[in-house]
């Protein structure tokens, strides 16, 4: 029996800002345990195409397929390939909206075997698609300099050099194979004497996960594909969980909503200025209420941003 459940983060806000309407097509780009998809389907008579790269979540789509038949489709794949995945299904326009909840699912965090968890020991894996190079491979074979760059670029870890150096020394004695091997080693390097609120290895785990799953590139492609397939009135709702993701979304949305600017405001524009094709909806961003954080502490760093296509 599968006892793992997942509390969808900012669910009410995501549903509200997706603006779910009858007879339109929506994409849930991060299906997970189906929390968003289920509620979108319940809310109105619309169609949901759900995407997830993790083969372990496919089983959660079976019951929805049974209940909603041709109103629901699950596609196993990366949202960075969204346009191609939809083309295979003969879909070239999304009329309703696209939502992506970018964090990790409970399936990743609670099942130690997936290798994402500092708390639950398991093999150092971290591959969402269960394909490609694992965190164990990176930690035990990358050069010190490459490791330190990953830790700094994707984790903004101030002790990235010292941690990379220690990993290279320690792996000569013993292979670093489990999440606890790595977490304990980082704890020793960071030597935090005071009790900590977040584990000292958190940033390193985040950095490795982003690198292994090419997460920032995936988000760039998701936005790029989405803006090309959204029909006027369709919305893009993205929920991020750390500053690197949020910065990327914020800056890209800003550019999309600004349109073309006159290069020199003192000179007349030589060509007619392009009006922006997207507009921001509501506040610059939404965060969980204190009540939601209390019920689901994992939601504490979530930020939701939304844009709408206004013209072709």
| Residues in CB range of 107: below 8 A, 6 or more apart | 4, 6, 32, 33, 54, 56, 57, 114
Nearest approach, Cβ of 38 to ligand SAM (angstroms)?
8
Q: Report in angstroms how near the CB of residue 192 gets to ligand SAM at its nearest.
A: 28
Can you tell me which of 46, 48, 52, 230 binds ligand SAM, judged by CB under 6 A? Answer: 52
Considering the rule CB under 6 A, would residue 97 count as an interface residue with ligand SAM? no
Determine, following the binding rule CB under 6 A, whether residue 61 of this chain makes contact with ligand SAM. Answer: no
106 burial (CB, 10 Å; 0-12 / 13-18 / 19+) is: middle
Residue 123 carries which DSSP code? B
Q: Which stretch binds ligand SAM (CB under 6 A): 67-75, 96-104, 226-234, 283-291?
A: 96-104
Degrees to nearest 5, angle at CA 216 with 215 and 217:
95
Is residue 42 within 8 A of residue 15, CB to CB? The reply is: no
Compare residues 34 and 96 and give the one whose CB is closer to ligand SAM.
34
Report the candidate in 32, 31, 33, 40 with the shortest Cα–Cα distance to residue 11.
40
Structure tokens at 123: 């093999």
Q: From the list 17, 36, 154, 278, which residue makes contact with ligand SAM (rule: CB under 6 A)? A: 36
Of 77-85, 167-175, 198-206, 269-277: span binding ligand SAM (CB under 6 A): 77-85
Binding to ligand SAM in span 189-218, by CB under 6 A: 218
Does residue 15 interact with ligand SAM by CB under 6 A? no
Dihedral, CA of residue 27, residue 66, residue 42 and residue 100, to nearest 10: -20
Which residues, in sequence order, are CB contacts of 41 under 8 Å at separation 6+?
Answer: 48, 64, 67, 68, 71, 72
Beta bridge partners, 76, equal 52
CA angle 244, 250, 254 (to 5 degrees): 150
8 lies in the binding site for ligand SAM (CB under 6 A): yes
Considering only CA atoms, which of 77, 76, 59 is closest in space to residue 4?
A: 59
Reduced DSSP (H G I as helix, E B as strand, rest coil) percent helix, strand, coil of the chain, to 5: 50, 15, 40
Out of 18, 27, 33, 64, point to the residue binding ligand SAM (CB under 6 A): 33
H/E stretch holding 235: strand 235-240
CB closer to ligand SAM, 73 vs 190: 73
Q: Which stretch binds ligand SAM (CB under 6 A): 26-34, 137-145, 186-194, 266-274?
A: 26-34
Shortest reach from residue 17's CB to ligand SAM, in Å:
14
Should residue 288 be labelled a site residue for ligand SAM when binding is judged by CB under 6 A?
no
Q: Check binding of 115 to ligand SAM (CB under 6 A).
A: no
User: Maximum CA pair distance of the chain?
Assistant: 69
Tokens of 204: 């390193």
Give CA–CA dist 110/24, Å, rounded. 35
Binding residue for ligand SAM, selected from 6, 159, 190, 235, defined by CB under 6 A: 6
Using CB under 6 A, which of 27, 75, 78, 237 touches ligand SAM? Answer: 78
| Residue choice 34, 155, 200, 288 for contact with ligand SAM (CB under 6 A) | 34
To ligand SAM, the closest distance from the beta carbon of 115 in angstroms equals 14
Among 57, 138, 304, 307, binds ligand SAM (CB under 6 A): 57
Minimum CB–partner distance for residue 194 and ligand SAM (Å): 31
By CB under 6 A, residue 105 contacts ligand SAM: yes
Name the site residues for ligand SAM (rule: CB under 6 A): 6, 8, 30, 32-36, 51-54, 57, 78-80, 101, 103-105, 128, 218
């Amino acid at each position: 029996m599968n006892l793992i459940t997942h509390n969808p983060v900012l669910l009410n806000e995501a549903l509200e800002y997706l603006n779910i309407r009858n007879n339109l097509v929506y994409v849930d780009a991060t299906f997970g345990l189906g929390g968003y998809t289920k509620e979108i389907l319940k809310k109105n008579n619309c169609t949901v195409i759900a995407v997830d790269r993790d083969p372990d979540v496919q089983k959660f789509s079976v019951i929805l397929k049974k209940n909603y038949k041709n109103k629901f489709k699950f596609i196993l794949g990366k949202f960075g390939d969204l346009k191609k995945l939809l083309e295979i299904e003969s879909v070239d326009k999304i009329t309703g909206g696209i939502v992506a909840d970018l964090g990790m699912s409970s399936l990743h965090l609670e099942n130690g075997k997936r290798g994402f968890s500092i708390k639950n020991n398991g093999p150092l894996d971290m591959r969402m698609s269960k394909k490609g190079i694992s965190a164990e491979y990176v930690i035990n074979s990358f050069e010190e300099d490459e490791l330190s760059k990953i830790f700094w670029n994707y984790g903004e870890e101030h002790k990235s050099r010292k941690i990379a150096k220690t990993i290279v020394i320690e792996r000569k004695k013993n292979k670093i194979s489990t999440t606890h091997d790595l977490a304990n080693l980082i704890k020793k390097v960071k030597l935090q004497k005071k009790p900590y609120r977040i584990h000292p290895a958190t940033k390193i785990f985040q950095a490795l996960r982003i690198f292994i799953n090419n997460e920032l590139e995936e988000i760039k492609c998701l936005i790029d594909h989405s803006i090309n397939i959204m029909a006027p009135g369709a919305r893009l709702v993205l929920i991020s969980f750390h500053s690197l993701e949020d910065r990327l979304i914020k800056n890209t949305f800003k550019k999309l909503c600004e349109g073309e600017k006159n290069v020199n405001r003192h000179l007349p524009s030589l060509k007619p200025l392009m009006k922006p094709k997207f507009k921001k909806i509501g506040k610059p961003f939404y965060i969980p209420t204190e009540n939601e954080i209390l019920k689901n502490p994992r939601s504490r760093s979530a930020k939701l941003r939304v844009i709408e296509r206004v013209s072709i």
